[in-house]
Every structure is written in structure tokens, then in C-alpha cells.
Structure 1
């Protein structure tokens, strides 16, 4: 059932000898991820405005990038999606997810603020969690100056970024000081123990492997006991009630598939509104690959439609 386009991409990677991420140093993996994006990502669409910002927080200065969509004029107060990039808490940055943020902004008619959080192994858990929480609070505090509506603030991310978005929603609910309107969780990591069946059935042969997951985990998590901390594994939080509506996207050939589904199920059972859509024929990371995977563009359109519906 693997999509022929996904199979063709994987065959091309094998033919060209693309090295598995876990065989590279973090610096090499970051550079390779940044450079190879041009082969699979669409051309970045034009948006109305892009601003480089800096959030001054107790953790230090955090780089941000603000996108305003085509259409509304510069004075319009817009809903906003605060977006956390994927990359296993080790790789990825504002540039690797620039196209996706532009696509979401234009299609959803909202502003997007991308967060360049600290990563491992230089900055271990919970540095990334602290950064995304601080950055999201900063966006809310600065909403007036940025022409954003703090009452229509969503969080989202893919993979490790989906993990962080889920954690922000939980921490915001617990603190009661950061209202979140929606959470967009794209193939999120929700259980650091990595014991769900899809880690076995999809653990080899589909780009993101068990070895690469272990590489990311071990560069991010310093103490194995942290796997049980809900700030690393949101699925293990003892109370999932009272959370914002969620859209969870999963992929059929992704090791993270089952923990994404389980998180959506747990959200629903706790009384929340949660929708889970599995792209059965796709691999992990597919949503940024719209140049070579048609279903990536479908997934982007679905995410944008939900953002537009919920945020108005």
C-alpha cells in the first residue's frame, strides 16, 4: 500500500546513497537536512510579509520568524499559528520549514510564527520545552504590536514539533495563563518509550528507522527516567481533559503512527474534540515534500482548512 511516489523517492535515496541520519554527527545531519530540502519541497510561495523577530525570555533570546499571508492588509489583526519545526529535537530550523509555514499562512489566512528553539545534544531536555513555552507566551504578550489576535492563537508542529505543540497545550492549560485555541499535531511523538507496535512494523525501510529514532532520543534525553516525564511524553500525562481541539495527522508507514493515533484517542476519551487522519500510504516527514509527493499538498490543505475553520 506504500504510495508509488513515496516508493520512488525511497528508491532514489538508495540509488544516490543518501546516508541515514544516525550515521552523521549532529552538525552534519543539520547541514544535510537543510541542503536536501530543495529536492523535495515546493518553491516557497510568496507571502505578504516576513519578519525576523527575537523573543527575549528568561531562557535567553529565541529567534522567531513571522509570516503574514497574502490578502489582508498590514493593519488587519490576524489569528496566529505558533509553529515548532520537526527534526527529532536535534536537526531542523527556521529555513527547513520555511515553505510549509508560508503555505499554511496563505491557505489558512492566518499569521504564522515559527520558533527556533534550542536542540540537543548541546541543549538537552527540557530546554526545547522551556523555549517553546517562553516563545509562545512572548507572542501572546506582543500580539498587539504584531497585529495578532491573542484570543485566536493556535500551536502546531510536525514530529518533534508536534510533540512540543502538545506539551505547550498541556502546560498552558495547567498554568491557566496562555489560552490556546487549537493544536495541530503532525505525526507527533507522544511516548518516548518507543514501544508501540508501529515502531516494530515500520521500524526499518521507511526513512525514519528505529536506529534514527534512538539517535534523536539519545541526543535529546540525557536521563532515561525522563521518558516518563509528561513534558517528554504527553501521552503519559495523568489528565488530558480540558485541552483545545486537535487535528492529529499520521502516516501509515511511520514508526510514530500508533502513538499519534493513541494520543488522538486519549484526547477524545478525555472529553476533547480531536480528529485523527492517517495518510495510509505515506512515510514520516511527508508533509514538507510537496514537490515529489502529491499527498503532501493534500495534507497541507487539510491542516490549513482546519485552522481557518477553528480560528475564523
Structure 2
């Protein structure tokens, strides 16, 4: 079926999930089965361009959180580090595309990538998800010597729902006055639950990440209550004294305008922001690694990372 949006011809075709009832699939266990499939697929992942290691760290409640560590093949005494908070609507675990991205970042920028498997909205409150993500940050800084990480060159990265988590952790870290961060990269990020404020939410309601899916995502994520609202929903917080940000919205995406609004709010708070709207793109477009457009976008991301860690 032909798309109603003029996506770039350099990208493979995508579909919209606008008619899927996610809440029903949470109730009947379908999403849990899909999540299990993704986890099994990732558990056997191998990379030809980075060394991959699986480990655990402890979260705030002493529960073990699995993470994957991607180390460049070139040996260094200390590595800059990316903490990668993955997307998936707060409902899906790490997928192969995130593993591929982590390998590419390690190979092309020399960073060590940490990809944590935080607890999901299928069975945990959003505050638990947030604290799992903070636990990964804390673990890296408190074990930097053992992990061979340069504590002065650590930055946050997140795509989609992971962008929301990365932004929230930057805020939480600021207010807990803990660890130095050299940047935050937010890729087609979720920023706000007040969807009606943004023209793109209606204009691209049937795009790859649909209005219907977005609304259900927020209901599911917040369904068990929220204590740390201004960290769970970054747009509701004050945005001063944060690390420099690279924000990458996609042209044909329901989330485009809230990402732009978040970038502008950061700028108004005195934060250095590089806003880069990708023409012709859709939510999740960067899984198409063979696309010339995606390759150009990754080159820009590598450039941003090198600037953060210089």
C-alpha cells in the first residue's frame, strides 16, 4: 500500500501501527510473548566489529539489571562511554537494531557502549524504569576504573522512548548532583505526554509511530502511577544546567514537534543544542542501515559524538 506521506525514496517502505490495540495485547499477554522473542534473538547476538559482553548491575531495589557492553576492537587504557537507553515504547526490550547501532558507534567513534535492559511497563511502574536507568549511570561511574571508562567523557544516548529516558536521567543526575556528563543525544525522542499541543501529532497521525500508538504508550507507561513526574516527562521540568544536546527529530513523525519544542526549551534555558530535523525520514528509519540517507545521518551522529568526547 502506498504511503500517504512522501518519505524519502532512499528509505525502504515502512508501515503504520495505527490500528493495533496495544492495551488489549498487554492484557492478553501478546506483547509479553513478542518481548520474549526479541530477548531471545538478542541473547545470541554476535558482532564482527566490536567486542560484546553481557553482564549485570544492581538497581535501587537490589534487583539485577542486565546490560550489554560493546567495546571497540582497538585497545585503549580508557574509553569514552555512551549509555544507550533503548526505545520500544517502554514496552519492548532491546532489539537487534539497537545492538547493531551500538556496534557501529563503538567501531566508528571509539566509545564503549553500555546498553541496559531496564524493566518494562508491562510489569513495572515508570519510576522503576527510571531508577533502573539511573542505576546504570551510577554503576558506570562507580566502577569506571574496572570498566576502563574515562569518567570525564561519558554521555547519554536514547532513541524514541529511550530518548525520554535519557533526557529524564540527565535531569535526575543534575538534581542529585552526582556525575559529570559531556552530552546527551536524543533521537526522535518522546518528550511530553500532552500530545494535543503539537501539530505533528495530528498531521502525521498515521505515520510509522502513530498517534494511536503514542496515546496508548503513555496510558500503559503511567498506569501504575508516577512519583517522579518531572523526570518521567522531561518537558515538565526546568531545563537549566544540563549537558549539551543533539536532538534529531524526523520530518514525518508524530513526535517531531515535541522534540523541536524540547530543543527550544533547552536553548531558552541556556543549554547548547544542535537540532537536526531529518528530511524525508520516519520514526525508526535508522534501522535501514543500507540506506544512503541513513549512512549520512550516522556520519553526522559520529561527528557529534567526537565533539562530545574530544
TM over 0.5: yes
* 1:276-291 equivalent positions in 2, closer than 5 A: 276-291=275-290
Q: Structure 1 154/103 Cα, relative in aligned 2: closer, same or farther at 3 Å? A: same
Alpha-carbon RMSD: 2.7
- Indicate the SS of the match to 1:154: strand
Q: Does 1:241 align with 2:244?
A: no
Matched, 1:62 2:60: no
Secondary structure (helix, strand or coil) at the match of 2:126 reads coil
1:9: which partner in 2? 13
Unmatched segments (≥5 aa) in structure 1: 38-42
Aligned-partner SS, 2:81:
strand
Q: Distance in 2 between matches of 1:176 and 1:190?
A: 22
**Secondary structure at the counterpart of residue 80 of structure 1:** strand
Write the deviation string for residues 123-143 of structure 1: whole angstroms up to 9, x where unpaired: 121111110001111111111
CA distance in 2, matches of 1:95, 1:145: 27
| TM-score, with length taken from structure 2 | 0.87
| 1:144-173 deviation line (CA, Å, top 9, x unaligned) | 001111111101110010110001111111
TM-superposition CA deviations, 1:251-271 (whole Å, max 9, x none) = 011100001111111111111
Q: CA deviation at 1:192?
A: 1.2
CA distance 1:261–1:50, change in 2 (3 Å)? same
Give the equivalent residue in structure 1 for 2:3: none
Aligned 8 A contact 1:192 1:232 in 2: no
Where does residue 172 of structure 2 map in the other structure?
Answer: 171
The alignment's TM-score, normalised by the length of structure 1, stands at 0.87
Is residue 124–residue 219 contact of structure 1 (8 Å, CA) maintained in 2?
A: no
Tell me the residue number matched to 2:94: 93
User: Partner of 1:198 in structure 2?
Assistant: 200
Q: Which residue of 1 aligns with 2:133?
A: 132
The aligned residue for residue 261 of structure 1 is 260
Say if 1:79 and 1:288 are closer, same or farther in 2 by CA, change over 3 A.
same
The answer to whether the 8 A contact 1:34-1:95 is kept is no
User: Unpaired segments of 5 or more residues in structure 2?
Assistant: 1-5
Distance 1:18-1:103 versus aligned 2 partners, 3 A rule: farther
Aligned pairs for 1:30-45 within 5 A:
30=35
**2:160 equivalent in structure 1:** 159
Partner of 2:106: 105
